[in-house]
Structure 1
Amino acid sequence: MLRLIVLCGGLLAAFAIPSSALAWGKAGHRLVAQLAERDLAPGARAEVARLLAGEPDPTLAGVASWADELRESDPDLGRRSAKWHYVNIGESNCRYSARRDCPGGDCVIEALKAQTAILADHGRSRAERAQALKFVVHFVGDAHQPMHAGYGHDRGGNSHQINYRGRGTNLHSFWDSGLLNSARLSGDAWLARLQQRTPTRDRTPVLPVPAVAWAQASCRIAVSPGVYPPRATVGEDYVRAHLPQVEQQLRDAGARLGALLNATLAR
């Protein structure tokens, strides 16, 4: 009976976790940060090192999943920032309206703008800017995860159950990490693979942050034909069709994060 209670409690906790807690998974967020680190200008690199000094892993990759871990490390901030990881615009033909889709600024688009502004403000304390940097690293990744800009009615695919290789999961989780894991590559191998391809041409964002364009492009992937499979069981044909999209989103996110930090941290 005790084991059953523990199991049920674990299942309830899992269902209580918002979709924001699973964006790209640790591997995907780390890859975005590693790609960005490669592109940092000397001044931005030095400022990142100064702001992250004292972190267990004082690198962009080392803090890339920090915002997803807040529900355990800082529950109050985790609750306040829970809605900052996504925006639901699939039902609106992927057209963003701040009033309709982001009341109170509680979505990834406005959160990314707000945290970038804090990071750029040298009048803020080092602690405030360090926290903003960690949010920015994470939210750029979130904005490029298609399910984080998709439909609201199924919580970005969280309620859409699928089966792959005999294991049950949901569409959101499969796009977070299942597609990446299907290749069975190590983190280093994935980084090398992403670095071999031509990065996005959109490498120099003009401030304010073009987060709207990033999220709307992600949404268009989420609602495109075939992303929601016609059958619950998906196979290797689904992976072949959509893993390249995941790779390009990660590549774009890394290049854009690097360019954003270079622009934001320039003095």
Structure 2
Amino acid sequence: MTRLLAFLTALLLIPAPASAWWEYGHETVGQIAYKQVTPKTRAAIRRLLAKGALLETPTCPINTIEKAAYWADCIKELGPRFSYAYSWHYQNVDICKPFDLKAACKDGHCVSAQIERNAKLLKDRTVPERERLMALAFLIHFMGDLHQPLHAGDKGDLGGNRAKAAYGAFSTERMNLHSIWDGYLAERAISTPPSIVRIYSPSERAEMGAGTVEDWSRESWAVARDSVYGMAYGGDPCSITPPARSMLTNEKIESLIAPLRLEVERGGIRLARMLDEALG
């Protein structure tokens, strides 16, 4: 038991990637979508991914749906070449004010605007193949980002990155709400049986896939308010002063598995709809 605890503690001390859902969450959103799309769409996706060399990012391959889902985070390591896309991964709308996407999305530099932009590029057959491939990768990734609640709403704390928190009995100086929802809690929720990577029924797809990108933004923002901050701060997150470090007890963690799994499912189902509309 002592050796096990030491090993787990060492894992927590490893610096966490600064990306939504880490690899696992993004890959799962992509896998769910890939299972739902029509055969025609799936074939079109494969044809585009086979052209990965056009992007000239050999350290960030894109030959599978899983790698394509993570590509937009991988290229952050390439420095200024793709620095223009940094602000496209989030839209931190204040959870303590009425939902206002316009203010958080100035000049289209936010995740919802880029979802719509890349869907249009992907659908347009007159756009060069390289640009359509990039649009595909961005669209897959950004649909995952939008359904990470802390990329849709926050309390002026950089998407929870400044909100120190403890995950059950484990805590490190660098751990915060963002890293917990990105990684530790996401991996716990996604890996909890039964698998969410499956074929969904037409009624499930119709229910979860309905709405607009703005509707989905508002929904994810509400999850940030009610589940992320509400649970971390014990009630109304806007009526109390946040603690120096919030404690996510095992009981709280268990209660958050279902809403987090649902966000990943929604992301995959809605991504499938957008891919079918663009490629099907």
Partner of 1:58: 63
1:127 lines up with 2:125 in the alignment: no
Q: 1:130 aligns to what SS in structure 2?
A: helix
What's the offset of the Cα at 1:246?
A: 0.7
The 5 A counterparts of 1:57-96 are 58-73=63-78, 75-77=80-82, 79-91=83-95, 93=97, 95-96=99-100
Conserved? CA contact 2:49–2:64, under 8 Å:
yes
Conserved? CA contact 2:31–2:197, under 8 Å:
no
Q: CA 1:235–1:49 in 2, change beyond 3 Å: closer, same or farther? A: same
What's the offset of the Cα at 1:194?
A: 4.9
Q: 2:165 aligns to what SS in structure 1?
A: strand
Conserved? CA contact 2:26–2:69, under 8 Å:
yes
Q: What CA distance in whole angstroms lies between the structure 2 residues aligned with 1:184 and 1:145?
A: 13
Q: 2:107 aligns to what SS in structure 1?
A: helix
1:217 lines up with 2:222 in the alignment: no
Q: CA 1:229–1:200 in 2, change beyond 3 Å: closer, same or farther? A: farther
Q: CA 1:110–1:196 in 2, change beyond 3 Å: closer, same or farther? A: closer
Conserved? CA contact 2:209–2:266, under 8 Å:
no
TM-score of the aligned structures, taking structure 1 as reference length: 0.81
Return 217-226 or 241-250, whichever deviates more: 217-226
Q: CA 1:265–1:76 in 2, change beyond 3 Å: closer, same or farther? A: same
Q: What CA distance in whole angstroms lies between the structure 1 residues aligned with 2:268 and 2:161?
A: 25
Runs of at least 5 residues in structure 1 that lack an aligned partner in the other structure: 1-13
Deviations 1:112-147 (Å, cap 9, x if unpaired)? 111111111100010000000000000111111111
What's the offset of the Cα at 1:229?
A: 3.0
Return 229-238 or 147-156, whichever deviates more: 229-238
The 5 A counterparts of 1:125-204 are 125-151=128-154, 153-164=156-167, 165-168=169-172, 169-182=175-188, 185=191, 192-195=195-198, 199-202=204-207
Partner of 1:34: 31
State how many pairs are aligned: 241
Q: CA 1:54–1:123 in 2, change beyond 3 Å: closer, same or farther? A: closer
Return 252-261 or 189-198, whichever deviates more: 189-198
Return 104-113 or 127-136, whichever deviates more: 104-113
Return 130-139 or 212-221, whichever deviates more: 212-221
Deviations 1:181-215 (Å, cap 9, x if unpaired)? 34694xxx768245388745335557xxx211111
Return 118-127 or 51-60, whichever deviates more: 51-60
Runs of at least 5 residues in structure 2 that lack an aligned partner in the other structure: 1-14, 53-60, 235-242
Q: 2:195 aligns to what SS in structure 1?
A: helix
Which amino acid in structure 1 is aligned with residue 156 of structure 2? H
**CA RMSD, 1 decimal:** 2.6
What's the offset of the Cα at 1:228?
A: 2.8
Q: What CA distance in whole angstroms lies between the structure 2 residues aligned with 1:197 and 1:241?
A: 24
Return 224-233 or 248-257, whichever deviates more: 224-233
What's the offset of the Cα at 1:62?
A: 2.1
Q: 1:64 aligns to what SS in structure 2?
A: helix
What's the offset of the Cα at 1:42?
A: 1.6
